Amino acid sequence: MARSKAFLGVLFLLIRLVQAGTTADTLRSRLDIPWYTEEQLQSPFEVSPNFVDTTITGFQHYDFAHRAGFFFAHKGNVGHATRQLQFSPLLGHDFPLDEGGLFQGYRLEHSKLRFYRPKHVFTDLFYVTGAEREQLFYALHNQKFHETLHAGFNYQIVNSPGLYNRMAAQHSNIYLTLDFQLPNKRYQALGSFISNRFTNQESGGLENYLDFEQDTNRDIVFLPQAELRQRETAVNLHHFYQTGFYVGGSGDDTLSDRRFINLGRINHEFSWKRQSFVFYDPAPPVDFFEAEPFNPTSTFDSTTVNTLENLVSWSNFPLQSGRGTFPFNFKIYIKHRLIDIRQPLFEVSEPGEGEKTSDPAYAFREESFNQVIQGVELESDQSRFLSGKAFAHLTLGGYNDEDLGIGANLTLGRPEQKHRLLLNAAFYQQEAPYFLSRFYGNYISWENDFDKQQIGHARVEYQSKWLSLEGNYYLLSNMVYMGPEAMPVQNTNTFGLFSAGLGLKTSIGAFQTRHKLLYQYVSDQNFEQFPELVSYHSVFFDFSLFKKAMDLNVGLDLFYNAPYRPMGYMPVVRQFYAQQNYERDRVFLVDAFATIKVQRTRFFLKAQNLTSLLPNAPVVYAIPFYPLPEMAIKFGLSWMFFD
């Protein structure tokens, strides 16, 4: 009781401080903070901005992994590897190393950054604390230095020791952004610097999950000392210049009265990225694979990947401030990519006279690729009721030689309309991710010569303010995936994968609901495993208190997974694999939450996994065999500043 009174007292004091710090009229004029994606800022059309979300609906989803997708499986502690439960292959002309990355949602990427354009400044401080000293934090700041110059940064950390043995995670990530545009909009530059640093304890899962279920103190794991460290540094500069000149008018005419003769847009994109992966285990290796490890006393697998890219393109995209547009706009481009990959070299050679064998921890095998990607894009005015896009690209040389992609989409409905219909069709022929073809480590190594994967994709999507419907059909051939032996295999069959998604919002007075459902069916079982049905349901009451000075949501979040064989995780190769030894029953998880907003400050209080309090509640393994923690309390807040 005393703790409850103390909490209410602190909450009331914060409310009074926030109310004293700003007035409703001043705040209301500053809430509309616009932000754009890079694609929006480079669009030839006047694009409506997105705005900072200051609502509290969904604010309780604090885990950064939600940025990558709503349905995912995790180990039971924030900051660890997550696997998205919706099939979404890596398509395009990038150079993927694996099937989607370990830290989806945590890893910062240039293509997913938000470029804010506040009137003055915008700052958001976000902090979460929970059981077992779990802490998440980010400080986001953006500022207008000039009418044509905006810059910002975001620094985020994750520090979570975890409830069970060897589950700690420590992340430190930062990005800096630059957004510059000349007043006449003839030149624009978007730049970013990104640093991602991840450190995870790798347990390998429980040695005996049945013993653990009898006594949770017996959380004995395969790897009592292993650690994964991943580092990434990236620099990006994307800029363009609109060539052409103005004609017509007299010397007294304003610029807007003159006609702009468009000679096309010249675009240049530069990016440099360095990635490093270290799996370190000072203990003797565990018998994960049949082959004997190269070093029987310890493991130090260190891999570095350097990527340098330059893209040059020309397009007939119109100047946004110019009068008149072409009915169709096209862009042709050519990109050069240089990739240098260094992996451990585990080979013993007989030493010559006076020579010593090389230390496997510091010996590397190096492979370099030069690749040229050429492509064309075609699009109509995206602000019209009927619009479309088409693309084609081909890669020559290097690892992805003769990779290609072609596709088109059609949109009915303007961006601001209540109802929109989107149709899409595409075909890709591409190599498997690099680490599925060539991987070298202390435990296991492989060199595969797989045939190119072929992926046909058809998609239809309906959007409205309260309902979204989505259908996808993939025709898959020669798909490469991690098989039951935790090694890559290729399914040479041609098979289909169908998925359907639904999003629904309903309200009756103060009673609100949010629903998301996903159904997936794969016609061939020799592939990655997905639950046929996974869903999320949120039911809550939305009302105001203290003469509308406080907004409050109180309700429940419910998660459902149909029975299936969840993918396992093999830490020594950093991959999820289709294990066949454990099938999980249906899972129903319930969280209780309260979210509060007072002026520019938001709070949430959340009790996770209430179903664990039921008698004889089973232990849940979203990834075998990493147990989800029992009921835990989380508290978080976000404090925004607009001046």
Q: DSSP per residue over 580-629, as a string?
A: -S--BPPEEEEEEEEEEEETTEEEEEEEE-GGGGSTTPPP-EEETTEEPP
Q: Are residues 215 and 94 in the same domain?
A: yes
* Long-range interactions of 283-287: CB distance < 8 A, separation 24+: 283/223, 283/224, 283/225, 283/226, 285/442, 285/443, 286/204, 286/222, 286/223
Q: What CA–CA distance (Å, rounded) separates 315 from 323?
A: 17
Give the number of other CB atoms < 10 A from CB of residue 24. 11
User: Which CATH number characterizes residue 35's domain?
Assistant: 2.40.170.20
Residue 382: what pLDDT? 80
**Cβ pair 479, 527 in contact under 8 A:** yes
Q: Are residues 177 and 122 in the same domain?
A: yes
pLDDT value of residue 380: 87
The whole-number pLDDT of residue 192 equals 98
Question: Do 542 and 557 sit in the same domain of this protein?
Answer: yes
- Whether residues 22 and 97 fall in one domain: no
The answer to whether 278 and 228 have CB atoms below 8 angstroms apart is: yes
pLDDT tens digits along 520-565: 999 999 999 999 999 999 999 999 988 888 999 999 999 999 999 9
In this structure, the number of other CB atoms found within 10 A of the CB of residue 179 comes to 22
Biggest CA–CA distance in the chain, Å, is: 88
List phi, psi (to 5°) of 180: -125, 140
Positions of the chain with pLDDT lower than 50, given as ranges? 1-30, 255, 321-324, 351-358, 360-361
pLDDT of residue 348: 53
Q: Are residues 19 and 36 in the same domain?
A: no
Res 148: pLDDT: 94
Segment 385-422, tens digit of pLDDT: 999 999 999 999 999 999 999 999 999 998 888 999 99
**In this structure, are 281 and 296 located in the same domain?**
yes
Q: Are residues 520 and 636 in the same domain?
A: yes
Residues 26 and 129 in one domain: no
Please compute, for residue 554, the number of CA atoms within 13 A of its CA located in the half-sphere on the CB side.
5
Q: What is the pLDDT of residue 245?
A: 81
Same domain, residue pair 339 and 217: yes
Question: In the numeric block, which tokens belong to residue 54?
Answer: 């200051």
- Tally helices (H) and strands (E) across the chain: 5, 33
3-state secondary structure 215-244: CCCCCCECCCCCEEEEEEEEEEEEEEEEEE
The answer to whether residues 493 and 523 touch, using CB atoms and an 8 Å cutoff, is: no
For residue 57, the tally of other CB atoms under 10 A from its CB is 15
Three-class DSSP category at 27: helix
Q: How many CB atoms lie within 10 A of CB 413?
A: 18
- Please give the full DSSP string across 517-532, using - where no structure is assigned: EEEEEES-SSS----S
Beta bridge mates, 339: 307, 369
In this structure, are 22 and 135 located in the same domain?
Answer: no
DSSP annotation of 47: P
pLDDT score for 172 = 98
pTM for this prediction: 0.89
C-alpha span between 431 and 213 (Å, rounded) = 42
SS3 (DSSP) at 141: strand
Sign of the alpha-carbon torsion through 316, 321, 323, 324: positive
Residues 354 and 339 in one domain: yes
Domain that holds residue 506: 31-641
Instruction: Clarify whether residues 250 and 332 are in a common domain.
Output: yes
Radius of gyration, CA atoms only, the chain: 27
Domains held by the chain: number: 2
